[in-house]
Amino acid sequence: MTKKESFYVLNEFDIDPQRLKRERDRARKLKKSQWWLDQVNRGVCYYCEKKFAPGQLTLDHVVPLARGGKSQPGNVVPACKACNREKSLDTPVDRVLAIMAEIKKAGSSENE
């Protein structure tokens, strides 16, 4: 699935401005925690696993806030800017389904 074919159905609760503000405030606090500093100081992007200087990594929500994610250690990871931008509003399930669709498409084109 290409980004042009992607669309998201967003739940009203998940995109509530007050909820998003609370979660962004939590993310700002989390970025000051020792846990987050340890994550960033490792210097590894969660998605591409490449090494970066700590200042080049951003806080990414694995499940985006707009899709119901929360600002808590189990849902935030260090990501390079390119991976964070490419991921956009995708969840891990979206990424797996896209890979499966590509594999299926490649398999069907081999049989032609």
Domain ranges (residues) in the chain: 9-110
List the one residue out of 48, 36, 40, 44 whose CA is nearest residue 95. Answer: 48
* Per-residue pLDDT, 98: 85
How far is it, in rounded angstroms, from Cα 54 to Cα 80? 10
> CB-based contacts of 21: which residues, under 8 Å, 6+ apart?
none
Say how many C-beta atoms besides its own lie within 10 A of residue 30's C-beta.
17
Q: What is the pLDDT of residues 30-61, one digit of tens each?
A: 999 999 999 999 999 999 999 999 999 999 99
* Per-residue pLDDT, 92: 86
Quickly name the fold that domain 9-110 has. DNA Binding (I), subunit A (1.10.30)
**Tokens at residue 12, please?**
């009203």
Say if CB 90 and CB 105 are below 8 A apart: no
* Per-residue pLDDT, 13: 67
How far is it, in rounded angstroms, from Cα 33 to Cα 14? 25
Say if CB 45 and CB 7 are below 8 A apart: no
